[in-house]
Amino acid sequence: MKGLLVKDLCNLRQVARQSLIVVAVLAAWCFFLGDSQLFSMMSIIYSLMLLFTAVSYDEMAQFNKYALTLPVTRKDLVRSKYVLMLFLFLAGIVTGLVGKAVLGILIGDAGSVSLAEQGFSLLSVACIYLLAFDIFLPVIFRLGIEKARLFLALIFVVVSGVLFGAVTLVRNSGIEITSGMVFAAVGAGAALTAAGLLISYFLSLRVMQKKEW
């Protein structure tokens, strides 16, 4: 599985320059908007979108069909994509936090929003979008990236609507977000995300076991 992960990272290296440009554009956009929090959220979303790029490279090269002629199992193919997703997810969080800190200093809004509210917003994005990708992966394994695009777009719209609706509702309700609420949200979000990830993995594995090329 390590070799499969290295292969995906090498493929993504081909879009490293474009990724740096995208991150720079996002940073500039957030700077002119005066919103450093937005950068951390967009970084997570973009990092996970790179998973689609890795899957697209495999499909164009018909890699899975070739990989099964090697000492590689279907389980290895599935597991490598989930490990890659988690790696990109963590990379997006780190990039978002570092970029937010720098932008916060440049913009001067580092202390304009409470740490509890910042944590609540960031964790909401992280958990919801990771759950969305938990749904995406079995669909992609079943239909392929090209046929699954319509489903992915629909799920993104639904997830985005739920996310921003929930954040807006909390802010407009006048409820003060405390550290206790954030810790509770962290625990609930982590449990839900872990459960979704586990279910998604077994669904993807079942799809791959039955798939023919």
Residue 116 makes CB contacts below 8 A (sequence gap 6+) with 177, 178, 179, 181, 182
Per-residue model confidence as pLDDT tens digits over 163-193: 667 667 766 776 666 666 666 766 777 787 8
Per-residue model confidence as pLDDT tens digits over 18-41: 888 988 998 888 888 887 778 888
Nearest to 159 by CA among 179, 136, 137, 138: 136
The first and second tokens of residue 137, run together, are: 């992966």
Angle between helices 36-60 and 115-143 (to 10 degrees): 10
Nearest to 64 by CA among 150, 139, 149, 142: 142
The reply to whether the predicted model has a pTM over 0.85 is no
